[in-house]
């Protein structure tokens, strides 16, 4: 029997989630990763959740690696902590982003070794549409929203045909200290429709935080993706919601060329990133359907501008417009305890290491 998975997904609407796939359920988890609720969504035919010793269960989790080794380690540690807290054996496997879909497809087709939970980009679920191998966890998402309300963009923007197949998290309020929001993602190059693209990103900034919003396409160099043709055919939509009326700018749309949003968009969308030898001279292309949408205090949508006008309102400054000396293609930053320099930076004083490369 093919089982369903529970997967954790980074939604384009700034929601990270768990989704239950295979023969169990496919629902994303909330920010605090309350896997006890996740457990309740798993059906009895979940092979991985079989009795281990006594009543102790085993849960298999696949986590799509991100660019930060420390973040990957923390995720693995937290899942193991959960196992101890709930008396559940958690088998966590960290999977490279470039291998994730191939590995998952093989497991689903074979009908065995399918994980109970996956943590990955939302496209890993959307790619299966309309035959999504994940459980409907709408009731769980609604329950979480009642107890701890989601940002509206996370709650509404992660539905698939009015259902939830993952539980959004990383979607709560951040406070006024927020200055930058970063999205690094691998485009779904099957998203070629300008009217209904698969890739959709929504930033709900109706609280009017002054933020720089960075949206960066990443390359899969191991598989030589993207090609120039893939970049030329790729389409996605990006929407930024703000509340101009709260800033006494109710008539902003009378002359939008003079109006500036509080959100500043920084992106390499609309630039062809297929050739790494042309980083400083990338061809401009048309990929992004951009919308700046006004939303009032009641959540009612008002005036909007799109594409070129939206770019002007959002002060869209492509990443490729930066001077070459401002670019970071490969970086490794190590932070040590105070006094480590006098001891020639021993590993015992290492606090954290951050890695970044090229489009990361």
In angstroms, the CA 99 to CA 92 distance is 16
Close Cβ partners of 348 (under 8 Å, ≥ 6 residues apart)? none
Structure tokens belonging to residue 230? 């893939």
Residues 28/74/200/357 CA torsion (nearest 10 deg): -160
> pLDDT tens for residues 234-256?
999 999 999 999 999 999 999 99
pLDDT at 151 over 80: no
DSSP conformation class of 251: T
**pLDDT higher at 238 or 138:** 238
**C-alpha–C-alpha distance, residues 81 and 58, integer Å:** 14
Residue 6 has pLDDT above 50, yes or no: no
Condensed to tens digits (0 to 9), the pLDDT of residues 31-52 reads 333 333 333 333 334 444 444 4
Q: How far apart are CA 331 and CA 347, in angstroms?
A: 19
E strand intervals along 69-116? 88-95
φ, ψ (nearest 5 deg) of residue 99 = -105, -10
Query: Quick one: pLDDT at residue 302?
Result: 95
pLDDT digits 0-9 by tens, 71-105 = 788 888 888 898 999 899 999 999 988 888 889 88
């Amino acid at each position: 029997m093919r089982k369903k998975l529970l997967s954790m997904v980074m939604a384009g609407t700034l929601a990270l989630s768990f989704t239950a796939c295979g023969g169990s359920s496919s629902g994303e988890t909330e920010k605090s990763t309350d896997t006890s609720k996740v457990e309740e969504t798993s059906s009895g035919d979940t092979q991985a959740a079989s009795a281990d010793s006594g009543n102790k269960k085993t849960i298999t989790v696949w986590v799509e690696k991100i660019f930060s080794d420390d973040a990957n380690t923390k995720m693995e540690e937290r899942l193991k902590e959960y196992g101890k807290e709930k008396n559940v054996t958690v088998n966590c496997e960290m999977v490279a982003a470039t291998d994730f879909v191939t590995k998952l497809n093989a497991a689903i087709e074979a009908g065995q070794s399918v994980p109970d939970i996956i943590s990955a980009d939302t496209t890993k679920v959307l790619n299966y549409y309309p035959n999504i191998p994940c459980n409907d966890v709408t009731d769980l998402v609604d329950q979480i929203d009642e107890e701890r309300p989601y940002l509206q963009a996370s709650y509404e923007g992660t539905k698939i045909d009015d259902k939830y197949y993952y539980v959004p998290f990383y979607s709560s309020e951040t406070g006024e200290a927020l200055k930058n929001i970063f999205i690094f993602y691998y485009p779904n190059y099957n998203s070629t429709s300008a009217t209904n693209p698969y890739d959709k990103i929504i930033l709900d900034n109706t609280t009017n935080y002054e933020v720089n919003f960075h949206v960066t396409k990443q390359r899969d160099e191991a598989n030589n993706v993207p090609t120039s043709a893939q970049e030329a055919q790729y389409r996605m939509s990006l929407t930024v919601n703000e509340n101009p009326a709260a800033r006494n700018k109710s008539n902003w749309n009378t002359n939008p060329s003079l109006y500036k949003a509080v959100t500043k968009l920084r992106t390499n969308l609309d630039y062809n990133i297929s050739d790494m030898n042309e980083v400083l001279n990338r061809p401009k292309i048309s990929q992004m359907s951009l919308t700046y949408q006004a939303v009032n205090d009641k959540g009612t949508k008002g005036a909007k501008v799109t594409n070129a006008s939206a770019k002007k309102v959002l002060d869209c400054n492509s990443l490729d417009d930066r001077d070459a000396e401002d670019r970071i293609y490969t970086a490794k930053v190590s932070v040590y305890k105070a006094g480590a320099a006098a001891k020639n930076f021993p590993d015992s004083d290492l606090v954290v290491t951050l890695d970044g490369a090229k489009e990361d």
